[in-house]
């Protein structure tokens, strides 16, 4: 993120703090929710964007 032309290294401490506050279980749960959501969207849009 910080290497992007419009990115900012200032976001990195916020991300680090977020990860630290969530802990291992929180990150696992967030990852599960993100993958579930992505799979749901992929299924819903499959007819519109065939592979």
In order along its 51 residues, the chain shows pLDDT tens digits of 456 676 777 888 999 999 999 999 999 999 999 999 999 999 999 999 987
pTM, full prediction: 0.64
Q: Give the chain as a 3 state SS string.
A: CCCCCCCCCCHHHHHHHHHHHHHHHHHHHHHHHHHHHHHHHHHHHCCCCCC
């Amino acid at each position: 993120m910080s290497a992007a032309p419009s990115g900012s290294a200032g976001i990195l401490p916020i991300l680090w703090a977020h990860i630290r506050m969530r802990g291992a279980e929180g990150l696992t749960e967030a990852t599960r929710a993100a993958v579930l959501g992505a799979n749901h969207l992929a299924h819903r849009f499959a007819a519109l964007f065939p592979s």
